[in-house]
A and B are shown apart, each in its own frame.
Chain A
Amino acid sequence: MIAATAPVTARAALPANASHPGRHATMQDTPFLRFDGVTIRLGGREILSPTSFDVARGEFVCIVGPSGCGKTTLLRAASGLVTASAGEVRRNGVKMTEPSREVAFVFQDYGRALLPWRTVEGNVSLALEAAGVPAAQRAHRIADVLGKVGLAKHAHKFPVQLSGGMQQRAQIARCLAQKPELMMMDEPFGALDALTRQSLQDELARLVRDDGLTVLFVTHDLEEAIYLGDRVIALQANPGPGRPSLARMIDVKIPRPRNQLTTKEHPEYLQLRRELFAFIEQGHD
Chain B
Amino acid sequence: MQILFFACAVFLIVLMLLTLYRAAFGPTILDRMMGANAVGSKTVVLLVLVGLIYERLDMFLDIALAYALLNFLAVLTASRYFQKRRGLSEEP
Whether chains A and B associate is no
